[in-house]
Amino acid sequence: MKSKNRLFAHSAVKYITPFILGFLAFALNSCSTSPSQKNTVPTLVTADAPIFDKRFREISFQDLNLENFWAENETQETREPIPINNNTFADLTDKVKDGVVNIYTLRLEERTIKFGISPNDLLPIKIPILSTIFEIIPFQVPIPFQSQGMSLGSGFIINEQGYILTNAHVVLNALDIQVLLSDGKKAYPAKIIGIDRLTDTALLKIEPDRQLTVLPLGDSDKLRMGEMVLAIGNPLGLRHTVTSGIISAKERVSPQANDKFAFFIQTDSAINPGSSGGPLINLYGEVVGINTAIVSQAQLIGFSIPANTVKEVMPLLVLGHAERGWFGLKAIPLSIEEAVELNYNGEDALVIEEVEKGSPAEKSGLKPKDIIVKFDGQPMKKFLVFRRKLLGLMPGKQIRMTIWRNGEEQEITSTLVKREPLEDQPGF
């Protein structure tokens, strides 16, 4: 295996011929562009494998301090607009391109072969009724087997120590990962700090031998429909390709049912296989999203993971935890009709629909028709912001809720617990 890894690392340095190798990688196994495919791929390489960096595994959530883990620009409440001319995108690209990396992986894949001979293969001609019967009867048995394949993707640097954000599906089941910086002169071996398949995010680590260009994370909540953005990535192996577009929509639920707990930015900036994991950048040079998927049946409909979602799940990525805390309730935005029925005069609240038996929610005394007014002291101004915060809650996290019941407010305190199976499930 060591010789194979050395060969792979050596070949990664030669990616200065991206057309040839990019096409080869795409033909072998390009990164997925279907959200449903991302979530149905089995986990073949576990978190105990050598490809995972376990340096933070012994740190508790309470002791974790990520205050300076990623960069953010200091912004005022209102920003001056960016003047647009023929060099605006070129100047912005020069500013951020060195912070974008290409990711090449050697990974384990599960395939199936059919073993056996169908009688139809032995007949000189097909007999209508008999051939149909032979096709229905499973003479050929599918047998699963594992093989190795190449995959490509993109990512971007978030701090000077060599931490890189990308998509989970770019590095899922990886046996070896090589990261190529913008100059293409050297491939750096990378390890996985953490993967979160629910939000399709992953955190990698390289050991840099030079100063790196860091891309700051922006505030994706402040994006506006129609705002101009750039996407930089490695589409089809064409290194460091820049495409421009706009924010087509915000808070999109993916067309795939498996992604119903995550909300995306929709953009018409071209995202192609190999672009997955690359940054979506606003005109201030900030990463506002991670490009993750396209709708294959459409043109110029791409999805990006909002930067603020990434910030919420960063503790899970750093600690390498895939599980989320479980509370055991179902809540939806409070309608005007329900507010009148429950004699509630406020705004921006949730109403509890269901409380699971034996859950921390039930033990804390919550009941259906209770109205959640505040969560951890913060008013419920936006349901999607509340849902996003749940993505980053881990077992052992203590939460405080203010509820409205029978005409008065009450304080509820509880602790999230771990429930099996918990992989790819939301916090509540």
Q: β-pairing, 378-379 with 100-115? A: unpaired
Q: Which ranges of 43-141 does DSSP label H, i.e. alpha helix?
A: 88-96, 119-122, 128-136
3-state SS track over 340-403: HHCCCCCCCCEEEEEECCCCHHHHCCCCCCCEEEEECCEECCCHHHHHHHHCCCCCCCEEEEEE
CB 399 within 8 A of CB 411: no
In angstroms, the CA 295 to CA 289 distance is 17
Catalytic site positions = 169, 200, 276
- On whether the CB atoms of residues 302 and 294 are closer than 8 A, the answer is yes
Cα 408 versus chain centre, distance: 40
C-alpha distances out from residue 120 to 142, 211, 320, 344, Å? 17, 64, 51, 70
Among 240, 222, 223, residue whose Cα is nearest residue 231: 240
Cα 86 from Cα 31, distance rounded (Å): 33
Three-class SS of residue 166?
A: strand
The structure tokens listed for 50 are 């050598």
How far apart (Å, rounded) are the C-alpha atoms in residues 289 and 286?
Answer: 9
